[in-house]
């Protein structure tokens, strides 16, 4: 059933990144390949930190955001159960060219992929004394580290697979640290929808997104041209590895384990004073 746009007078603005996991997940939704209960969407593809800031401005009805940013959005957005990136063995990496320990990064410039990224939050939770942060687009971080412009960088997305090509070494896997510290999978990014849309509409969006994920998993080749169109500088092998790493059962539904992981991250960030407290219910249902 294709979108007919009848549920609302205009399409909902929908933000997600051009990374392979997002284009894989959202392909069926934005191309009208699944039942959307009459909802229509107007997609906007941006890097995750741009999406974080757009959501903070209230500029998007529905958006992929970092879980760090979610901590600043809870009063105005619901978190959806489908479509996010949460799992094990997929966390940000701290890479360097010359440093040999995390302690050496205290007082040294460290590049992170945006102020509101989960990567920046995890680094803060790991060691608040590593506080000389340089905010760069994620795709510029490895080059800055390789050129010696920063002492280290926190890398995400496909950079996990390509950093050795820049002569860099891994100092720490922040996701692995998080898993050992908490026992939880690492919540990286989730999908949010404006509370002002109403509970019925938000619930319908969540169902449609779950259907989009299910469609992608049942038809793994269907999204290939859409993925490739937005990942022209990434090899097919890295695209496949990227999707395999960031799309899992939690992308279909957070489940109890995923909900516990999100709650743990938000609770720790609140206790550390990184995000404001909130009593608003996180989910629409």
**Residue 119 annotated as binding?**
yes
Enumerate the β-bridge partners of residue 135.
Answer: 112
Question: 173 is written with which tokens?
Answer: 């896997």
Q: Find out whether 211 is annotated in a ligand binding site.
A: no
d(CA 159, CA 140): 10
Enter the tokens of residue 65.
């955001």
Tell whether 274 is in a known binding site.
Answer: no
How far, in Å, CA of 142 to CA of 160, rounded? Answer: 10
Say if CB 171 and CB 101 are below 8 A apart: yes
Task: Tell me if 66 is assigned to a ligand binding site.
Answer: yes
Q: Which two tokens stand for residue 100?
A: 């040999």
The C-alpha angle with vertex 13 and arms to 9 and 240, in degrees rounded to 5, equals 135
Question: Cβ distance 238 to 35 under 8 Å?
Answer: no
To the query of whether residue 139 is one of the catalytic residues in this protein, the response is: no
- 8 A C-beta contact, residue 126 and residue 171: no
Nearest to 211 by CA among 87, 82, 111, 107: 82
Among candidate residues 27, 68, 72, 157, the one labeled active-site is 157
Q: Annotation-wise, does 65 bind a ligand?
A: yes
Alpha helices in the chain (DSSP H): 20-30, 48-56, 67-73, 118-126, 141-146, 159-162, 174-182, 199-218, 224-229, 236-246, 249-252, 255-271
Check: CB of residue 142 under 8 Å from CB of residue 159. Answer: yes
Binding region: 64-66, 118-119
> Which residues participate in the annotated binding site for substrate?
64-66, 118-119
Which amino acids are annotated catalytic?
157
């Amino acid at each position: 059933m294709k979108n007919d746009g009848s549920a609302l007078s205009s399409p909902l603005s929908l933000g997600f990144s051009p990374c392979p996991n997002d284009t894989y997940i959202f392909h069926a939704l934005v191309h009208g390949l699944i039942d959307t209960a009459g909802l229509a969407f107007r997609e906007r593809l941006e890097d995750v930190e741009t999406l974080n800031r757009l959501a903070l401005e209230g500029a998007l009805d529905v958006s992929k955001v970092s879980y760090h940013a979610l901590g600043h959005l809870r009063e105005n957005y619901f978190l959806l159960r489908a479509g996010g990136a949460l799992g094990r063995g997929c966390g940000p990496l701290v890479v360097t060219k010359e440093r040999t320990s995390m302690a050496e990064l205290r007082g040294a410039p460290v590049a992170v992929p945006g102020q509101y990224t989960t990567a920046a939050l995890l680094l803060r939770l790991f060691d608040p004394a590593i506080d000389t942060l340089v905010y760069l687009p994620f795709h510029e971080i490895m080059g800055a580290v390789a050129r010696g412009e920063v002492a280290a960088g926190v890398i995400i997305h496909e950079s996990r697979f390509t950093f050795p090509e820049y002569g860099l070494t891994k100092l720490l896997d922040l996701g692995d640290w998080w898993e050992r510290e908490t026992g939880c999978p690492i919540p990286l990014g989730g999908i949010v929808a404006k509370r002002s849309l109403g509970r019925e509409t938000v619930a319908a969006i969540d169902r449609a997104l779950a259907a989009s994920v299910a469609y992608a998993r049942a038809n793994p080749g269907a999204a290939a041209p859409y993925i490739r169109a937005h990942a022209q500088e990434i090899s097919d092998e890295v695209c496949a590895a990227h999707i395999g790493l960031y799309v899992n059962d939690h992308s279909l539904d957070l489940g109890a384990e995923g909900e516990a992981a999100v709650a743990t991250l938000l609770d720790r960030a609140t206790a550390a004073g990184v995000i404001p407290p909130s009593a608003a219910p996180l989910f629409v249902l």
